[in-house]
Amino acid sequence: MSAEATNPGAPSRRRARPRLDLRRLGRAALLGPTARDRVPDAIGHVAEAHRAHHPDADLAILRRAYVLAESSHRGQFRKSGEPYITHPLAVTLILAELGAETTTLTASLLHDTVEDTDVTLDQVRSEFGEEVCYLVDGVTKLEKVDYGAAAEPETFRKMLVATGNDVRVMSIKLADRLHNMRTLGVMRPEKQARIAKVTRDVLIPLAERLGVQALKTELEDLVFAILHPEEYERTRALIAENADAGDALATVAESVRTVLREAGIQAEVLVRPRHFVSVHRVRLKRGDLSGTDFGRLLVLVGEDADCYAVLGELHTCFTPLISEFKDFIAAPKFNLYQSLHTAVAGSDGAVAEVLIRTHQMHRVAEAGVVALGNPYTVVDTADGTGSSGAADASAGADGERADPTRPGWLSRLLEWQEAAPDPDTFWTTLQADLAEDREITVFHADGGTLGLPAGASCVDAAYAQYGEAAHGCVGARVNGRLAALATRLGDGDTVQLLLATDAASGPSPDWLDHARTPAARIAITGWLAEHPEAAKPQAAAPRAPTSPGGGRRAAANAVAEAPGLPAATVRLAGCCTPVPPDVVTGFAVRGGAVTVHRDGCPGVSRMRAMGREPVEVRWGRAAECRVTLVAEAFGRPRLLADLTEAIATAGAAVVSATVEPPSEQRVRHTYTLQLQDAAGLPALMRAMRDVAGVYDVSRAQHPASA
């Protein structure tokens, strides 16, 4: 378990339980229970730990589970030499100390029986009920996780499915892995390294996401010792050399107790030593460590409001380091964690990090979802009693289990794992998702919220909100401003996604460069696989044929009469984007091209001033044209949405758009549009002027480029 909080200044309120003696338990396990009406001595530690969290717990079912587990595992031994029953006992004790409820402990005692003995699921169901059977079956499906790298992707897929339906399955698996890691020394070094890598890459991040910090920190230290033995020994020696570092923190803790006592705030102030990996990380970040760097202060209070009262007193009586302040009570982390983080400096300049939380927050911080009990207990409104069962405890109308403790990331994981085309894709995306250690919340335009990993883009938001309908996303507005789909979102941003009405539209291969979530990447990859032509570079459009007569070239729907020039490419000037029936003038430019301007364009005067001779240009038969329009309006909510809706209703396609920053409550939108027929331009401009708040729409007029 993680290093326990100590309080040098006050006597312990409860005698600590002795360390589990596997050899003694092994002997007790071989002797079996001495009486049918009492809990066997071999699980006395489990019963004591369980009653500490659940004083009214009925231990009879634990006794029956132990008897079945001991008899079925009798004659089996672990590689370390102990009777095999010591393993489920140790796993169950880990969970009992975290506060797991009786059903979880019962399943933990039996978690290897179906896999390794003659006990069947039907037998477990008949003797212990549907709920215990469900948990044992879920853990049984995970047992091959340690055997062979080729089997890991599919095994972990099953693990996530089982976990998503009941987080207690993963709790048992994590405790199982922790005990196996504690006894890993009997295995070959290469197997130790392989198991440690899987633990590091998948199980530790899963423990973090389930909020089970007590398991996560010890797993981190065990993996650290195996995979980085030199760094581990250096860190161990550093901690040993600073064995008196706790004295510096104890001095600060006593000052904090005095301040809070004088303020009339009831609180426990504990010194919480850092574990090995935490010390290693702090050393890499800060270099040489002082005495107060080897631990943190933990302040425990009764109510949420007391947390902020403590914070106020600390920031008043000590010098706070504002850059270290974080409020995870108002904005809890994705794994249910809540706490106030701050750092204060005493009169001698020593800086101490402080965690402030309630006792309940502390339970959840240490044990995560394990501390929340049985999420499927149904309270009978008649007598207040509760019951649980996989079949009926929380099944909804569709028979699905509704887990109120299941974090949002786990729900998303279940959705995209079903869409993963193969185990290898699932494995890769799982590792990428678990590597993300921070989550942001963004808001829909209608006020709803989306939980996304830090660094997510508008592409991720589109698939999180619309699923496969996001294939037709053509743009987004972030915090009221038009933004590219590649735009990264920040915590608290408001995003409005614009979808095309054309059902044939689909994602670009470039979207994969901006997608961070597995759901987005799998959906995009799947669509591109079904539409291989979309992933290929578009072939260049065929060049328009040369008109009869000297040097006529047509581009768009303009034709230049240039008898003295070689075949010329005709292009419409971007500064004024002429359309029929504008009066136009052309000028020969570098490369033999002819640029066409409206007669009133400033570019015409500029070209004449440079001595360029005009080229006669006429409009051809083609009806399509491209035009740039500028809409000036008073700033208001939904202006961009209303303008783009008016443009779409008029039959024009948006090629590009820019929105200038507001100035004196006025905004300017510039759109480059593709029209099917130039004759529709006046109607389009009228439709845009009819949008509320728009006071002018005009053709673009700005200096031409050289």
| Active site amino acids | 115-116
**Shortest CA distance to 673 belongs to which of 694, 704, 649, 693?**
649
Provide the 8-state DSSP code for 457.
B
Burial of 80 (C-beta count, 10 Å sphere; 0-12/13-18/19+): middle
Tokens of 94: 């880990």
Task: Return the number of other C-beta atoms located less than 10 Å from residue 182's C-beta.
Answer: 15
Q: Quick check: 535 and 524 in contact, CB under 8 A?
A: no
As given in the structure block, the two tokens for residue 332 are: 């809890």
Both tokens assigned to 537:
């570079």
Tell me how far CA of residue 369 lies from CA of 34, 101, 200, 265, 300, in angstroms: 35, 11, 20, 29, 20
DSSP structure class, residue 245: H
Neighbours of 422 (CB within 10 A): 10
Q: Is 642 helix (H, G, I), strand (E, B) or coil?
A: helix
CB neighbour list of residue 534: distance below 8 Å, 6 or more residues apart:
506, 507, 508, 509, 527, 528
Chain CA centroid to CA 63, Å = 41
Spell out where 479-576 has E strands: 481-483, 494-499, 553-555, 558-561, 570-572
How far apart are the C-alpha atoms of 382 and 101, rounded to whole Å? Answer: 23
Among the listed residues 628, 545, 547, the one whose alpha carbon sits nearest the alpha carbon of residue 582: 628
| Contacts within 8 Å (CB) and 24+ apart, 176-180 | 176/91, 176/111, 176/139, 177/203, 177/219, 178/91, 178/94, 178/215, 178/218, 178/219, 178/222, 179/87, 179/90, 179/91, 179/94, 180/87, 180/146
Between the CA of residue 506 and those of 140, 426, 456, what are the distances in Å? 42, 23, 20
Q: What gap in Å lies between CA 36 and CA 67, rounded to an integer?
A: 10
Give me the residues paired with residue 694 across strands.
Answer: 633
Contact status, residue 314 vs residue 324, Cβ threshold 8 Å = no
What is the rounded distance in angstroms from the CA atom of residue 215 to the CA atom of residue 211? Answer: 9
The answer to whether 528 and 509 are in contact (CB under 8 A) is yes
What's the CA gap between 342 and 332, in Å, rounded?
16
- The answer to whether 196 touches 226, Cβ cutoff 8 Å, is yes
Q: What's at 286, amino acid-wise?
A: R
Contacts of 696 (CB under 8 A, 6+ apart): 630, 631, 632, 689
The DSSP-derived string for 594-641 is EEEEETT-HHHHHHHHTTPPEEEEEE-S---EEEEEEEEEE--TTHHH
**Cβ count near 223 (within 10 Å):** 25
Q: Which residue has the tokens 């095999």?
A: 84
**H helix or E strand, kind and range, residue 343:** strand 340-345
- Exposure string for 511-536, b = 16+ CB within 10 A, e = fewer: beebbbbbbbbbbbbbbbeeeeeeee
